[in-house]
Amino acid sequence: MVSAALAAAIALTGCNPEDVVPTGRSQALLSEKTLAQIEAKQMDKDSPILARIFKEEAEMEIWKKTRDGEFALLKTYPICRWSGDLGPK
């Protein structure tokens, strides 16, 4: 039991959020075009998102929660590169 706790403590030492240095890209403001799309689709700027990635189609979909609680497709982006085989991991 003690060895399992010690192993877990060692494994989790790399999970220290204080060591993460943000690049600023995650704090970029949304464009006016994106904000207009969000409003047109009855979404709030701060509502949750869901990302779906399709390797074979080379696309990433961004879905966002609408004001009625459902998720709706906001944008689809092309993926130019990916690695690995298709299928579950």
How far apart CA 47 and CA 38 sit, in angstroms, is 10
pLDDT at residue number 48: 97
The pLDDT tens digits of the residues spanning 15-70 come to 566 667 777 777 889 999 999 999 999 999 999 999 999 988 999 999 999 999 99
pLDDT at residue number 33: 95
Contact 54, 28 (CB under 8 A): no
pTM of the model: 0.64
**Looking at residues 2-19, what average pLDDT do you find?**
59
